[in-house]
Amino acid sequence: MEPLLSIRGLKKRYGAHTALDGIDLDLPQAEVFGLLGPNGAGKTSLIRIINRILEADEGHILFQGRPIEAADVRRIGYMPEERGLYQKMEVGEQAVYFARLKGMTEAAAKTALKEWFERFSIESWWKKKVEELSKGMAQKVQFIATVVHRPELIILDEPFSGFDPVNADLVKEEILRLSREGATILFSTHRMESVESLCSRIALIDRSKLVIQGPVGEVRKRYREHVYRLEWSAAAGGPEPHWPEGIEVLERAEIDPRHHRVRLRLPEGLSNSDVLRPVLEVGEPLFFEEVLPSIHEIFVRTVAGQIQPL
């Protein structure tokens, strides 16, 4: 299927500083795409260019296969990192205003908003002024205002920053639901906690360059270090398995006298059987799994320059 958004050769400079240096990126339809990177890496610049807030110096963006144009911003819902609401305005009126700026009619906006307010059980807030809401409440309104016009592309810049855990979970669920219903979601963060549970694909930007891109599982496999976790049971006080040459024992633990655990790194050319054989000699294997690096680890190590991007 054609990607919803294709970014090719995007460059952006601010004076002497290069914010984006030749970014190529594809956002497949209906996926949750995590845009990762440390602060200042260029995520917000990229997002602002997609939203046509900034202009790129070079490169182009295709929306459903054709160059993105002004009218397309109506098909995008954007929740910026720097976000807020008019404090003195009523919640309902304000949400209608935002929806109208996205091209909805007043009637359609009201109907859609009432639905969302019901879903979040906040119908009673309609006539309240924003300044009367707590921060968490305002965040819900903000999220609704971002998605009420049923955008095909939803861009969330650091969506969970400032959200309390309860609202963060609520929004997470809604993001997944919108994605199941066909929306493509691009969300940027420099915090990794939510990435693996939410994203199907990621891209990592570091120092204005795209360094990693791909489906989450694939990226983790790409950075595999051949580390395995192995647990077995054996008679108390029995002998240690005799590991073959080249295996590195990273961790050895005794959960109880009959239950043992190791973390091992396998050298090239060694098979799983080579690992299991010594265990079978001393006891019974209970658990054997390859430990793939988490996105968090990949992120930290890439940004710190420990591993070369592939």
Partner 1 sequence: MSHIGSIVGREYSTRVRKRSFLILTIVGPILMAAVGILPIYLASLPEPARQVIVLDKPGLLKGQRGNADVELRYLGPPEKFELEEAKKLFLQTEEYALLYIPTGSDSDPDFIAQRVQIYGREDVSLNVKSYLEEQIREAIESEKLRAQGVDPALIAQTKTQVTIHSFNLAEDGKQEQSSVELKMGVSFLSAILMYIFIFLFGAQVMTGVLEEKGSRVVEVLISSVRPFELMMGKILGIGAVGLTQFAIWIVLTAVLYIGFTTLFLGDRLEALRTAQEAGQVLESGGLQNLVDMVESLNLPLLLGGFVFFFLAGYLLYSALFAAVGSAVDNPGDTQQFMMPITIPIVAAFAVSTQVIEHPDGALAFWFSMIPLTSPIVMMTRLVFGVPAWELILSMVLLILGFLGTTWMAGRIYRSGILMYGKKASWADLWKWIRN
Give the nearest distance from C-beta 145 to partner 1 in angstroms.
7
- Is residue 40 at the binding interface for partner 1, with CB under 8 A as the rule? no
Residues from 102 through 131 that contact partner 1 (CB under 8 A): 102
Task: Rank residues 79 and 185 by Cβ distance to partner 1 and give the closer one.
Answer: 79
Residues from 43 through 62 that contact partner 1 (CB under 8 A): 48, 51-53
Task: Rank residues 53 and 255 by Cβ distance to partner 1 and give the closer one.
Answer: 53
- Is residue 88 at the binding interface for partner 1, with CB under 8 A as the rule? yes
Task: Rank residues 53 and 253 by Cβ distance to partner 1 and give the closer one.
Answer: 53
| Residues 161-200: x where in contact with partner 1 by CB under 8 A, - otherwise, as a string | ----------------------------------------
Give the nearest distance from C-beta 19 to partner 1 in angstroms.
13
Question: Which range touches partner 1 (CB under 8 A), out of 25-33, 82-90, 111-119, 223-231?
Answer: 82-90
- Is residue 145 at the binding interface for partner 1, with CB under 8 A as the rule? yes
Cβ neighbours around 237 below 10 Å, total = 7
Task: Rank residues 57 and 274 by Cβ distance to partner 1 and give the closer one.
Answer: 57
Task: Rank residues 151 and 241 by Cβ distance to partner 1 and give the closer one.
Answer: 151
Interaction site with partner 1 (CB under 8 A): 48, 51-53, 70, 73-74, 76, 78-80, 82-89, 97-98, 100-102, 142, 145-146
